[in-house]
């Protein structure tokens, strides 16, 4: 158990260091920071002075080490375009993206799991067929197109929902939240739905496939033979056993949600990290790009670790296997 | 040649094609789209890239069935008076070229690296698979965006051809991992088989065994993957163009058309953005369905 967690932690650190290395290379070789800071007509003396001040004349690995130390403290220097600290820019934008991804994930689970269970239990019924067809469409429709369609229908034609920005927010220290005002929720609906649709179809298909698999097993037959009610069999036995793969995928997809938020945030002009990243890509703002990369990697690694740990908590077989293995 | 076609028509794959209505519909829709794209200069009613034929008085006309529309422009016009239908055909052309080129590139790179990793094993294999792990833990769109961003920083004022190259490489970089993994797996299986050992014993050079003996036997799954990846690549291209980091604006792809049309959504001109979207979904959906069918047709266990 302890060795398992330790190995996972080590792997996570290796991934983070290699991502940090890529970010470091970005800093070093894309857009010379000295030229950017001093401008084209700096003298040789000025350039040498600044290089020494920034530590750029030191050996490669010393520089990399300093970069890692700074990155670990969330220090990525100044944004080339906005002149503000990158850590502050990302910090300001983080709550918006986090709340959007969270609401989308909850939406995907709350709608996706019941749809999947239904499609598995009432296989061949009309509604199940509809679910499956819609899910195929959901996988084939690009995210940005779903967003545009939703805006066209609910904002332009029906005029029910806003399509732009976060609406009214409430400030808790540095965290600005849109979850405590009606206006904030109204602004949340369309972007969250857009972000959730892909995950929703994925979860639905997964739950359906897993349910069908589990319903064929012997212990379900035995449960039926014992005369348990359908309800107890379906939800107490079958659904519970489908949740491990669902958990894994949801965990992995939560990271995907934050990345796909780039697209959703652009469509809805949602003031999150994704919009910041797109602006950074368009204007070649390397520090912001590198910091975003590291942050996303960190989120992925942390989520993966949590999923691994939850695995052991949820599935007793794994606990036994691990105990036996070590 | 006709003999070959006749033999294919009687074969298993063609049989399962004839039996699958979904595959036939998908193939027809896909072929119509490809035909329009390839022969755009001859089929399209107008030339959207020729600025001299544009008339600003014809700007933002609705499709022909709506009030104010005319049969001169079947699907209406955009803000500069360009015929949407023609722009679609030319746009699909660019989308298809970028999609196919990037899939070709990622197949070449992925198959080569997968063959080497599976055949050589050892540290080469270990290293390549770790690289794959790291690549897979990032969403494809993020990797493509990073590559595009780096290219923008490195070559601030590059021409259109460089932009195309960067775009193709960015999309290809997100795709090769899957081929590498698949090919590595099947290469490791093939490596242990008798025909490979026989070739080795008779003194055939390792690279020749890889290319002439192993490669043809691992290509089946690669074909299925590549078909589905064409759809993914086209969607990735459209997404990047929509986000403003894709093809140069002088040669608009479907994604660029959607991006431009998006600005006119609120003034009621929905057709500028919705028709390119429909075209994109039609292409992606038909390619996806064909890929699904091909996977089932090539998998003998399912028959």
Residues of chain B with pLDDT under 70: 1, 51, 54, 57, 64, 68-69, 71-72, 157-158, 299-303
Tally the residues of chain A: 326
- Cα–Cα distance for residue pair B152/B91, rounded to 1 Å: 23
Residues of B in contact with A156 (CB under 8 A): 265-266, 268, 270
The H or E element that residue A172 is part of is strand A170-172
- Per-residue model confidence as pLDDT tens digits over A174-221: 777 777 777 788 888 889 888 888 888 888 888 888 888 887 888 888
Q: Domain B13-46+58-302 adopts which CATH fold? A: MetI-like fold (1.10.3720)
DSSP string, A76-109: --B-TTT-SBHHHHHHHHHHHHHHHHHHHHHHHH
Cα within 13 Å of Cα(A288), Cβ side: 27
Which ranges of B121-249 does DSSP label H, i.e. alpha helix? 122-136, 140-154, 160-191, 194-201, 206-208, 215-243
Q: How far is CA A123 from CA A130, A201, B15, in A?
A: 11, 17, 28
What residues of chain A have any CB closer than 8 angstroms to a CB in chain B?
15, 18-19, 26, 30-31, 137, 139-145, 148-149, 151-152, 155-156, 255-256, 259-260, 262-263, 266-267, 277-278, 280-282, 284, 286, 289, 293, 296-297, 300, 304
Are B79 and B60 contacting, i.e. CB atoms less than 8 angstroms apart?
Answer: yes
pLDDT at B104: 94
3-class DSSP assignment, residue A85: strand
- A243 against A276, higher pLDDT: A276
**Band of the pLDDT at A30, cuts 50, 70, 90?**
low
ipTM, 2 dp: 0.79
Secondary structure of A235-266 in HEC code, one letter for each residue: HHHHHHHHHHHHHHHHHHHHHHHHHHHHHHHH
* Pair type for strands A175-177 and A170-172: antiparallel
3-class DSSP assignment, residue B117: helix
Which of A137, A255, A284 lies nearest to residue B153, judging by beta carbons?
A284
Q: Is the pLDDT of residue A326 over 50?
A: no
Q: Quote the pTM value.
A: 0.82
Are B253 and B155 contacting, i.e. CB atoms less than 8 angstroms apart?
Answer: no
**Band of the pLDDT at A235, cuts 50, 70, 90?**
confident
**Band of the pLDDT at A317, cuts 50, 70, 90?**
low
Give domain limits for chain B: 13-46+58-302
3-class DSSP assignment, residue A171: strand
Determine phi and psi for A78, rounding to 5 degrees.
-100, 145
- Per-residue model confidence as pLDDT tens digits over B85-137: 888 888 888 888 999 999 999 999 999 999 989 888 888 888 888 888 777 77
The closest of B245, B222, B255, B249 to B96, measured between CA atoms, is B255
Mutate to test the interface with B, among A30, A256, A284, A304 (most CBs of B within 10 A): A284
């Amino acid at each position: 158990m302890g060795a398992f967690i330790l190995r996972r932690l080590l792997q996570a650190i290796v991934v983070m260091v290699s991502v940090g290395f890529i970010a470091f290379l970005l800093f070093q070789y894309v857009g010379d920071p000295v030229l950017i800071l001093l401008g084209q007509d700096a003298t040789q003396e000025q350039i040498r002075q600044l290089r020494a001040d920034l530590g750029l004349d030191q050996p490669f690995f010393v520089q990399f080490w300093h970069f890692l130390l700074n990155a670990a403290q969330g220090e990525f220097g100044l944004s080339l375009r906005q002149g503000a600290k990158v850590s502050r820019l990302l910090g300001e934008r983080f709550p918006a993206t986090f709340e959007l991804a969270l609401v989308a994930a909850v939406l995907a689970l709350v709608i996706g799991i019941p749809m999947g269970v239904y499609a598995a239990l009432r296989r061949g019924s009309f509604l199940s067929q509809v679910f499956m067809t819609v899910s195929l469409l959901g996988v084939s429709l690009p995210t940005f197109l779903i967003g545009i369609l939703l805006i066209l229908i609910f904002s332009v034609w029906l005029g029910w929902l806003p399509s732009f920005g976060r609406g009214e927010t409430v400030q808790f220290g540095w965290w600005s939240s849109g979850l405590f005002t009606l206006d904030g929720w109204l602004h949340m609906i369309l972007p969250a739905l857009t972000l959730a649709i892909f995950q929703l179809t994925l979860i639905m298909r997964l739950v359906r496939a897993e349910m069908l698999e589990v319903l064929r097993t012997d212990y379900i037959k035995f449960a039926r033979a014992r005369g348990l009610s359908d309800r107890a069999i379906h939800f107490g036995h079958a659904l519970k056993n489908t949740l491990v793969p669902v958990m894994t995928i949801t965990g992995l997809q939560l990271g995907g949600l934050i990345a796909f938020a780039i697209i959703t945030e652009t469509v809805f002009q949602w003031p999150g990290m994704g919009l910041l990243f797109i602006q950074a890509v368009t204007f070649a703002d390397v520090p912001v790009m590198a910091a975003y990369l590291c942050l996303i990697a960190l989120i992925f690694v942390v989520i993966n670790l949590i999923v691994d740990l939850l695995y052991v908590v949820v599935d007793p077989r794994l606990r036994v296997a691990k105990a036996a293995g070590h | 040649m006709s003999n070959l076609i006749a033999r294919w028509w009687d074969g298993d794959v063609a049989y399962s094609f004839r039996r699958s209505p979904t595959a036939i519909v998908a193939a027809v829709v896909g072929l119509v789209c490809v035909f329009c794209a390839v022969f755009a200069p001859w089929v399209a009613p107008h030339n959207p890239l020729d600025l001299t034929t544009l008339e600003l008085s014809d700007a933002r006309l609705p499709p022909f069935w709506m009030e104010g529309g005319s049969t001169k422009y079947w699907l209406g016009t955009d803000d500069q008076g360009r015929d949407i239908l023609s722009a679609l055909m030319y746009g699909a052309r660019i989308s298809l070229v970028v999609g196919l080129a990037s899939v070709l590139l990622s197949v070449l790179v992925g198959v080569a690296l997968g063959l080497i990793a599976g055949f050589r094993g050892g540290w080469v294999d270990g290293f390549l698979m770790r690289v794959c792990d790291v690549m897979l833990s990032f969403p494809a769109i993020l990797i493509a965006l990073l590559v595009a961003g780096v290219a923008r920083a490195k070559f601030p004022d590059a021409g259109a051809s460089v932009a195309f190259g960067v775009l193709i490489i960015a999309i290809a970089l997100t795709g090769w991992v899957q081929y590498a993994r698949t090919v590595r797996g099947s290469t490791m299986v093939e490596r242990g088989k008798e025909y490979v050992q026989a070739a080795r014993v008779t003194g055939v050079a390792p690279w020749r065994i890889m290319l002439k003996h192993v490669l043809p036997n691992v290509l089946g799954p690669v074909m299925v993957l590549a078909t589905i990846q064409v759809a993914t690549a086209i969607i990735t291209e459209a997404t990047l163009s929509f986000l403003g980091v894709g093809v140069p604006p002088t040669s608009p792809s479907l994604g660029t058309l959607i991006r431009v049309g998006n600005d006119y959504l609120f003034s009621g001109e929905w057709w500028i953005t919705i028709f390119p979207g429909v075209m994109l979904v039609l292409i992606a959906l038909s390619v996806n369905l064909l890929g699904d069918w091909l996977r089932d047709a090539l998998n003998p266990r399912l028959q």
